[in-house]
Structure 1
Amino acid sequence: MNTAAKLGSYVLGLAVVFGGALGVGNAVGPVETPPADDHAAMTAMATPTAGPTASAGHGEHATQQAKDDTPGGLQVSENGYTLTPLTETIKPGEPTDFRFTVTGPDGKPVTDYEVEHDKKLHFIVVSRDLSTFQHLHPEMTSDGVWSVKLTLPDAGTYRAFADFAPTGGSALTLGTDLFAAGDYELKALPDTGRTASVDGYEVTLDGELTPGQAGKLTLKVSKDGKPVTDLQPYLGAYGHLVALRARDLAYLHVHPDGEPGDGKTKAGPEIVFYAEVPSTGDYRLFLDFQHDGEVRTADFTLGAGAKPAIPNATPTPADSGHGDHSH
């Protein structure tokens, strides 16, 4: 195998509570695009250690995501469904028409999906060091081939997650590794503090992550020093929050308490989430919100429990064998 970097990632998508397990890290150094057979082997390589997870919608639990002890997204295949990339070469900094399929238990590409949060499939791509984040929505042809314009900004290793629910089936999250060839060096986690600035907006974060307990997180949006009280629904909610645990990228996609049009949820400035994290450590939080017709992403680094034993909670070569946003 020519690839110098190996990584696994736990995905527990569209969940209010996600269990985590220690994952594998990633090596620093040159990355080469692996042959197709090596790529498939790498994306399937993982060892499940956590329990089952549940999907969640706008403040309420939905269907069970997995029927066994394997957390969603840990594997490229689950419950007979397989995520198969069709695009093998991605050059850093160049837009690529990234194509993939999801095949079903019959071995054929799935063409029938449930619509969840206004889309049939959500595609999230993060860099291994959690410095970049993209929430994308591919388009599907009639033969079940998905495509999306994808740009990996720098050389390195990335993780892609596909969240979907096949018609008549349970919600699933499948994961695969992506590679942009070239020399790279992992960055330390950003020390963001409690206020994030993006395009003239300020988002403040209040609340704590406590391992094993549901914690309230309140994100408040303002612009030019004034509270934003007319946030616009995006994918059926006033905000979307993705949390990823450093090192193994255990993944949580949770929607806020309440929803537009329910008669009680205000359109800002505050968006409230409830999340339970499985362990101490550092987490990266990415908030999507829409105002004046444009979706923006505010990002934070937040610790849970005691200070992590490993400084900056970044992967090291010993573990294994940047916030861009698009719509």
Structure 2
Amino acid sequence: MADKNKNSNNFNIPVFAIAPMMDWTDRHCRFFHRQISRQALLYTEMVTAPALVRGGAVHLLDHSREEHPVALQLGGSDPSELAEAARMGAEAGYDEINLNVGCPSDRVQSGTFGAVLMKTPALVADCVAAMKAVVAVPVTVKCRIGVDDQDPETVLPDFIQRIADAGCDYLIIHARKAWLQGLSPKENRDIPPLDYELVFRMAARFPDMPMSINGGIETLDAAEALIARGLHGAMIGRAAYHRPWDILSEVDARLFGVQPICRSREDVIDAMRPYIEMHLDEGGKLHQITRHMLGLFAGQPGARTWRRVLSEKANRPGAGVALLDEALEQMRQPDAMTG
């Protein structure tokens, strides 16, 4: 069963993924999530191809072997530059290279990549083909159903056909439009209505293109139900970040038939200790890791105390792993358990 840990290369089994999220899914977040699920496919924050190729920011590719399976998400619109960035990512050991065609932020638009690329499907196809030509790992795309006044029923099939012809291995569809003018990136995550049925129609129309769905999925039950309707996978974003144990702790058993290594939240904390100590020994700061752990006890008695202790004290000089014990002790006090 251990071979399933490379599920990013085998789209015949369910793909359960944590979405790439700017400022959130850094290497410390991914290591933390990996302690809860060994099978979930993890994604980097978006890394721009110009930063890698022209800026020499190779540190953005840093990750640990324990994170696998892990995908590198790239942003860009120049086929040759994306090809070079993809090659760098594959050589760094990533299991998948993903092209961002969904981010609606102003900064991304000004760089002519992200969701604005939905308007130029031929260019996206050229980018995919260029990346496929230089790497052996899967090349995938994450997109919206359309942007602005586009008719998704018209533009999405054309988009899918073009990237399929270019060799795209897997498609993740955020089942909302992106409004490039008038809505903020945050509003674009919530305001445009979800259209799951359109994604199901696309999956039926393109049976040879494995598809995963993203957007508005709040629970593992919901993800399973979507997969059960014929999709190859599901991707959860902010719900998994804010409630990591609720979302991830049953993924391995329910979707992959294997038992998780950490059986409790406390097991996860213990698994994080050596990693935190190594990070501190290398000159890192405790809060760089613990900021991702604030939601570990979400919904549990004492969760507010856990968050407060880590938020208030992890930034202090000399803060170390002992703070985890302090937070655990304080959250178990009777007043914290009922507060």
| TM, length-normalised to structure 1 | 0.29
More helix by share: 2
Q: Which has the larger radius of gyration?
A: 2
More strand by share: 1
